[in-house]
A and B are shown apart, each in its own frame.
Chain A
Amino acid sequence: MRKGQNRAISAAFGASAAVLAIILASPVQAQTKAPIKIGVIAEAQAVAGSSIPQAAQLAAEELNAAGGVDGRKVEIVSYDNHSSAAESVRAFQRAANEDHVNAVIASYISEVVLALEPWTGRLKTVMVSPGAASDVITQNIAKDYSHLKYTFHGYLRSTSLAQQVCAAAKELLVDQLKMKSAVVVSEDAAWTTPLDAEYLKCLPTIGLHVLDHIRFSPDTTDFTPIFNKIEAQKPDVMITGISHVGVQPTVQWKQQQVPIPMLGISSQATNSSFWNDTNGATEGVLYQGVSGPDVAVTPKTLPFVAAFKKKFGNFPSYAGYTAYDEVFYIADAIKRAGSTDPDKLVVALEATDYVGTIGRVQFTGKDSPNPHALKVGPDTITGLMLQWQGGKQVNLWPAKVANGKLKFPKFIKVGAADR
């Protein structure tokens, strides 16, 4: 009897312990298998911005198809910011406080990223921007590293963009076409201040004398007076810095047959839809990019473009490439950190060495004047100079990945300075 009682007590204890173990183990198991959440705050109604959540979603699906990150699925939580800094801040707060995301990919607009930057510190949430360019983003990190270290600049700084434009202009315009003079023409925005400063510094060093520097309001609708002013100075080329505008200056340039070529940053021209948006007026426009639809910058570029086109029916914008890469390297950093703890994630992201669709992604160190900026150069990201030709985006520079030759529409008079 006693033996039987003991057995019964033991069995009861055993069963209770097992139940307790299951009860205690369940949340732990669920916690380890909880998805990694990445918030995506983007301009869903803008061509450049709409690729950001799409590319992030594609990356998450590919990661999940390959088993996720240590068995955890990657989940994208999207927020449309309507191109507004205020809406972005609200979305960021919601992402961090209510949706408990582990990291945020945010915006191609510098003003938006600058507005979010302090919140990354306040809410200790990692943020990577796929398309903003202002150098101030990383300069702020240098000034207050301990607070703003959660911000990473996942796209090229304006200064780097200008340097790539200058490098391409030297080979394509100065060496090949013997051009001598330029007018810098940029929209008045946060990202163009450092861009223009670098243009004014680097253009003379490559042999292009800067005749004028024009900054215009992004609200400008009629560019005729601007083109007239530029044409009167007879430059060989217009070096551009445009992103918020694009269609209107391009269409008016063609309609008015302004005989001066445009080369530089023209963010909207990076979108494959730009040909249709401008009814083909973009023929001959030269623009800097980090990738192009037919350019195999890395082995990952073309498969990404094909998968994006198959899923969404169009080609990704420049910010689509970077957003896609960002999901992968954030996931990789979480894996390396072995945790989603923001401070550990920052350390892991700082050690990023990832070959993505735009090149090899590495961030500058915390002692740099621009911490957490993308490293640029032959070993990391070189950038491209593409030209719209017959409805296609043809890469002309650097020569090793070029798939076409410089070609201008008839109304362009190369060497306008000699007229």
Chain B
Amino acid sequence: MLFWQILIDGFAISSLYALGAMGFALIFGVSGVLNLSHGALMVAAVVAAWAAGNDLHVGPYVGAALGVFVGFAASLITYFLIVRPLQQSRKIREEEREIFILTATLLWGIMIQELIAYLYTNNAKTVAPIVEGVVSLAGVRTPSNEIFTAVVCWLAIGLLWLLVNRTRAGKAVLAASMNPRGVTLLGVELSQVYIVIWAIYGVLAGIAGVLLGMFLGVSSYSVGPLTASAFSIVVLGGLGSVSGALIAAYVVGYLETLTAYLISPAYRTIPALLLLVIVIYVSPRGLLGRR
């Protein structure tokens, strides 16, 4: 019974982690940007979906769609307002550019966090679930919403795979992640590729946020832990590797679930962080890192 419980819960939470971290990995893989406002964008999507339901009185589908849209819009605003000006600035030395972007996205995330707390308080918010009720899976009473979360995560991951591997824009993104200069020589406008990946990332972060809001709920305090969680998964998987992030998400998700069930929920994150330290020592490139 406990085995199935851990298997089911671990799968749902890992799928959510994977979706949240894959966009983060994609951005880094293609443009070298570590977006430390990641958690803020996810929380913004949740609060938007929650506010749509409570203030605009829309149904759960429209609320969820609005949440995803806010994730998408917030991602593009982050790119155009914060990241792109720093990428193009001639006042910043090339070797310092990454640290400038890192700091700017971190501060941008804090600004979003404070704005959310100011407008909607720092109390946790949950998004109205699209599916309600429970079903019995291998004798485990499982919320239908948990299954829905895992299914939507995998659909989004599948669509991302198709987009990257089967479309022209996606192939340009893939090529840019392998060799940005080579792609430019082939006549692909790199800035267009960046817009595409930030748009994809926004949708992924929006979906992950809304699902997290339905599954567990978040508050403005979640901004830091969500960014840290995505960052840890991406470092564990190998910076820039989307498939590495996928594997690492499941390693972290199951490690956390096992700890929560077998030791104590209070120590949930500790073993995964210890593993991260070990991996950084033993193999700094992570599981499937390229950079």
Contact = CB atoms under 8 A, between A and B. Distances in A.
Contacts of A378: none
Interface in A43-59: 45-47, 50
A220 interface: yes
B92 interface: no
A268 B266 contact: no
B189 to A, nearest CB: 41
Contacts of B268: 220, 222
B62 interface: no
Interface in A228-254: 228, 245-248, 251-252
Contacts of A246: 123-124
A279 B128 contact: yes
Interface residues of A, number: 33
A276 B117 CA distance: 16
Contacts, number: 86
B143 interface: yes
B77 interface: no
B129 interface: yes
A276 B126 CA distance: 9
A247 B54 contact: no
A317 B122 CA distance: 15
Contacts of B158: none
A264 B257 CA distance: 28
Contact of A46 (B121, B132, B145): B121
A256 B133 CA distance: 8
Given A221-B216, A279-B128, A268 B54 contact: no
B54 A47 contact: no
B143 A256 contact: yes
Contacts of A225: 9, 257, 260-261, 265
A276 B141 CA distance: 26
Contact of B143 (A255, A268, A278): A255
B134 interface: yes
Interface string B126-146: 111100111000000101011
B5 interface: yes
B123 A247 contact: yes
B54 A45 contact: no
B244 interface: no
Given A222-B216, A279-B126, A256 B265 contact: no
A59 to B, nearest CB: 22
A255 B220 CA distance: 22
A271 to B, nearest CB: 8
Interface string B212-251: 0000111110100100000000000000000000000000
A177 to B, nearest CB: 23
A46 B134 contact: no
B217 A247 contact: yes
Contacts of B146: 255
A245 B127 CA distance: 17
A252 B143 CA distance: 9
B117 A45 contact: yes
Contact of B54 (A217, A226, A257, A276): A276
A220 B121 contact: no
Interface string B90-129: 0000000000000000000000000001100111111111
Contacts of B141: 256-257
Contacts of B219: 247
A268 B123 contact: yes
A384 B128 CA distance: 30
A120 interface: no
26 contacts: A45-B118, A46-B123, A47-B121, A47-B123, A217-B266, A219-B225, A221-B216, A221-B217, A222-B260, A223-B265, A225-B9, A228-B5, A247-B217, A248-B217, A252-B217, A255-B132, A255-B143, A256-B134, A257-B134, A257-B143, A276-B54, A277-B126, A278-B126, A279-B128, A279-B129, A281-B126
Interface of B: 5, 9, 13, 53-54, 117-118, 121-129, 132-134, 141, 143, 145-146, 216-220, 222, 225, 257, 260-261, 265-266, 268
Given A46-B123, A221-B216, A279-B53, 20 more contacts: A45-B117, A45-B118, A45-B220, A188-B266, A216-B265, A216-B266, A221-B222, A222-B260, A222-B265, A224-B9, A246-B123, A247-B217, A248-B124, A248-B216, A251-B217, A252-B216, A252-B217, A256-B141, A257-B133, A279-B128
